[in-house]
Amino acid sequence: MRQYFTLFIIGLILAFSSCRTDFDTVASTGDLKFSKDTVYLDTVFKNIGSSTYQLKVYNRSKNDISIPIIQLKNGLNSKYRMTVDGMSGTNGKIFKDVTLLAKDSLYIFIETTADITDANPTDFLYTDEIQFDSGANLQKVALVTLIQDAVFLYPNQNPDGTKEKIKIDGKEVDGFYLNENDAVNGNELLFTKQKPYVIYGYAGVPENKTVTFEAGARVHFHANSGLYVAKNASLQINGTVSTSEKLENEVIFEGDRLESLYSDIPGQWNSVILENGNSNHSINHLTLKNAVTGLEIRNTTNTIPIKNSQFYNFVEHGILTKNARINAENLVINYAGIASLSCLYGGNYNFTHCTFNNNWQNSSHFAVNLSNSLTGATPETNPLTQATFNNCIIYGSGTNEFNLSKNTNTAFVYQLNNCLLKFSSSSTNPDYQFKTDTQHYNNIILNENPKFYNVNQNKFNIDKSSSAFAKGNQAFIIPKDILGITRTSPPDLGAYQSQDFPK
């Protein structure tokens, strides 16, 4: 009986199959629909591959169709490449007899790697188009990419095929020392705004030399790259106030992926390291973002002024110091896996009108972490001779955004004056008695929301509804805020003078 039933089912399937005609394809009639009529591939540097972009192609008809050809207009000479439903075609440029079923769709993924010489010399756009079919049935989707010229700095290749190396912490890493008399780039110790710079590996500043970044300079670091300022060398960042959101006069350090997808992703490059020594560093109007650790400062003898600067999106720390000396004004740091500001192994610090926030999504991060020791097999201590915070905001998504790691065998001197502080858990620890310990805490606003404009977009402006409004001490006022706006009296806390938010 089962055998008869099985034969019946098979016969039924064959009968239905013999009635269907849609297993046969018909020629495309030029009625394809597309998810977009132009695919804009975000800005790329010359000869650096883009991200992959998607186009969806729809067959709205009741018939299975065959598209005779899908190709790039520039054919095999095109700087674009595609895959069509997983097929690579001829060099990713030409695809023949592509079947698209009724009421179905296919995916096309597009990438490009182009040189500045391939682009239109007037607007630096490189364009092509995807053509579907030909003649009367021709349909097109435009492709547009902005190619940006740049100065590329990278390790040389040695005669044995290995890359040039420099030593950091006793280890050899891919890197090179900037040369003030380079045969190709000229003075590599002077970064101007004429072209952006792309750095591969660690760019080292030789001992007793100074690297200078002029206002408007743009520096892009490739993966696993960074800037290493050697012992007794100096870093001079000379940004100035900008008049628009383009930050035209800011010095900007970030990764080398220009696509909007990468605009706020931590860990795209490594760090800026300032090695120990007697150096005359100065940092003004720097935006540094998307690194592992933004700025690491080690055993500096001279005090480093850091003014009007922003540090965002880090796997570990925004600023990490070890026995450093800093005088910071109008500094903003946000979003770090360990701490936005972490001052270890003592040092001497003064922070005025600064905003330290941390919205990293775990419970063990801090906005500010202070310590007079280094952990390890043999813990080391060093005096924290001063850590003063005046008119600052210390906030974030965690329960407690302020942490003290004190070794009682050496000095640990700190004081917070007129600060808004996030510390939600009750504590009997004498180090966290914010209302009664006047030696360390004066006029603390505890656990009130500063109402930042948009934390997710790293916009830490406040308005008059903020708990930080007009709560500063006039004695500590910095006359202008991070945007160059004159502060009122009494001043607001943090790096920004309050303004009305746009509606």
Query: What per-residue confidence (pLDDT) applies to 121?
Result: 86
The verdict on 263 and 384 lying in the same domain is: yes
Each residue of 30-87: pLDDT tens digit?
899 999 999 998 889 988 888 999 999 999 999 999 999 999 999 999 999 999 999 9
Q: Is residue 483 a part of any domain in this protein?
A: no
Percent of the chain residues topping a pLDDT of 90: 82
Q: Which helix (H) or strand (E) holds 4?
A: helix 2-19
Tell me which of 131, 148, 165 is where a domain ends. 148
Percent of the chain residues topping a pLDDT of 70: 95
The verdict on 249 and 323 lying in the same domain is: yes
| Neighbour-count burial of 383, counting CB atoms closer than 10 A to its CB (0-12 exposed, 13-18 middle, 19+ buried) | middle
Got the DSSP string for 203-223? EEEPTT-EEEEETT-EEEE-T
Closest CA to 489 of 502, 473, 501, 500: 473
The verdict on 388 and 339 lying in the same domain is: yes
Q: Is residue 493 a part of any domain in this protein?
A: no
Per-residue pLDDT, averaged over 424-429, amounts to 85
Query: Which range among 13-22, 251-260, 457-466, 477-486 shows the weakest confidence by mean pLDDT?
Result: 13-22
More confident residue, 120 or 342: 342
Domain extent at residue 133? 26-148
Q: Is residue 6 a part of any domain in this protein?
A: no
Q: Tokens 């991070």 sit at which residue?
A: 482
Got the DSSP string for 180-197? TTBTTTB-TTEE-SSS-E
Decide if 437 contacts 429 (C-beta within 8 A): no
Each residue of 97-124: pLDDT tens digit?
999 999 999 999 999 999 989 999 888 8
More confident residue, 250 or 260: 250
The verdict on 125 and 184 lying in the same domain is: no
Rounded to an integer, what distance in angstroms lies between the CA atom of residue 245 and that of residue 224? Answer: 29
Q: Is residue 481 a part of any domain in this protein?
A: no
The verdict on 121 and 37 lying in the same domain is: yes
The verdict on 136 and 199 lying in the same domain is: no
The verdict on 229 and 356 lying in the same domain is: yes
Per-residue pLDDT, averaged over 127-132, amounts to 96
Query: What per-residue confidence (pLDDT) applies to 1?
Result: 46
Query: What per-residue confidence (pLDDT) applies to 421?
Result: 97
The verdict on 271 and 371 lying in the same domain is: yes
Tell me which of 148, 173, 202 is where a domain ends. 148
Helices (H), ranges, 181-251: none
Rounded to an integer, what distance in angstroms lies between the CA atom of residue 276 and that of residue 353? Answer: 27
Decide if 434 contacts 449 (C-beta within 8 A): no
Decide if 359 contacts 312 (C-beta within 8 A): no
> What CATH number does the domain containing 119 carry?
2.60.40.10
Query: What per-residue confidence (pLDDT) applies to 261?
Result: 85
Query: What per-residue confidence (pLDDT) applies to 113?
Result: 93
Query: What per-residue confidence (pLDDT) applies to 27?
Result: 85
Q: Is residue 128 a part of any domain in this protein?
A: yes
Q: Is residue 15 a part of any domain in this protein?
A: no
Per-residue pLDDT, averaged over 255-260, amounts to 90
- At 295, list the tokens: 């700025």
Please state the domain count of the chain.
2
Classified as helix, coil or strand, 3 is: helix
Each residue of 1-22: pLDDT tens digit?
445 444 445 454 444 444 444 4
| Summary mean pLDDT of the chain | 92
- At 412, list the tokens: 């640990």
More confident residue, 350 or 11: 350
Q: Is residue 487 a part of any domain in this protein?
A: no
The verdict on 133 and 271 lying in the same domain is: no
The verdict on 134 and 168 lying in the same domain is: no
The verdict on 187 and 66 lying in the same domain is: no
Rounded to an integer, what distance in angstroms lies between the CA atom of residue 480 and that of residue 486? Answer: 4
The verdict on 265 and 345 lying in the same domain is: yes
Query: What per-residue confidence (pLDDT) applies to 17?
Result: 44
Query: What per-residue confidence (pLDDT) applies to 3?
Result: 52
Each residue of 172-213: pLDDT tens digit?
999 999 999 999 999 999 999 999 999 999 999 999 999 999
Secondary structure of 368-397 as H, E, C letters: EEEECEECCCCCEECCEEEEEEECCEEEEC
